[in-house]
């Protein structure tokens, strides 16, 4: 009888735990739906506010045309300058000095002309959009909300930034080593890693190779 009672208590506890787990799972799923819905509402509200501002501006200035709807500014203009160095590097994966260096180096390729219709997006903001998009998994609309620009503008800035970095900085910072440089790299790898005849290391890239007959299993890619 005691064994039967123990089994019954065990089954009851398991059933209670399963019920609690299912409730937590349902609550987590509901929270996810609420978060997605809140993000959608933020996007829609941003558009409503921008449209209202544009309508008010048009009514007060008859005959003027807009290239783009004005948007509220905040994170880039007010929050970003207040970040400490560690938080800044967390957002952009570079220091403030490197950020400024990239902006000044690529300024000629990224800077847009002032017009009577609107002020162009500053180079520093373009660099911020490009770096943030590169170093995060955020969608275009999320970046657009953060930096207060349109989603299509984020995508355009991202492509222009990547192109500018490659064209302006590529030849200087990326290149094949000279023959002497390769010999120096091989000596350094052998000294530090005890790995002979290596001139560089790459991460996150898979290259098909033909393994030698001896010790072929050493060349199997176990990571897929």
Mean pLDDT of 91-102: 93
Residue 122 is classified by DSSP as P
Q: What is the pLDDT of residue 24?
A: 63
Q: Which of 79, 54, 67 is nearest to 118 (CA)?
A: 67
When comparing pLDDT for 129 and 61, which is higher? 129
| Cα gap 140→152, rounded to integer Å | 8
Half-sphere exposure of 12 (CA within 13 A, CB side): 6
| Cα gap 85→132, rounded to integer Å | 15
Which two three-digit tokens encode residue 198?
């290596």
Q: What is the pLDDT of residue 100?
A: 95
> Under the phi-then-psi rule, with left for phi > 0, alpha for psi from -120 to 50, and beta for the rest, what region is 115?
beta
Q: What is the pLDDT of residue 119?
A: 78
**149-169 pLDDT, tens digit each:** 888 999 999 999 999 999 999
């Amino acid at each position: 009888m005691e064994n039967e009672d123990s089994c019954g208590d065990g089954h009851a506890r398991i059933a209670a735990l399963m019920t609690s787990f299912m409730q937590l799972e349902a609550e987590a799923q509901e929270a996810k739906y609420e978060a997605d819905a809140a993000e959608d509402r933020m996007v829609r509200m941003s558009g409503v506010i921008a449209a209202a501002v544009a309508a008010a501006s048009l009514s007060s200035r008859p005959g003027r045309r807009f290239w783009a709807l004005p948007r509220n500014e905040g994170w880039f203009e007010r929050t970003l300058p207040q970040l400490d160095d560690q938080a800044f590097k967390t957002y952009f994966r570079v220091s403030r000095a490197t950020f400024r260096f990239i902006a000044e180096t690529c300024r000629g390729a990224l800077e847009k002309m002032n017009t009577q219709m609107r002020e162009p997006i500053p180079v520093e903001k373009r660099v911020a959009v490009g770096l943030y998009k590169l170093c995060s998994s955020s969608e275009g609309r999320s970046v657009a909300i953060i930096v207060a620009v349109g989603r299509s503008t984020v995508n355009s800035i991202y492509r222009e930034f990547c192109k500018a970095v490659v064209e302006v900085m590529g030849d200087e910072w990326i290149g094949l080593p000279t023959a002497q440089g390769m010999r120096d790299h091989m000596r350094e790898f052998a000294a530090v890693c005890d790995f002979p005849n290596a001139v560089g290391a790459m991460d996150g890239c898979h290259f098909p190779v033909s393994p030698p007959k001896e010790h072929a299993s050493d060349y199997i890619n176990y990571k897929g």
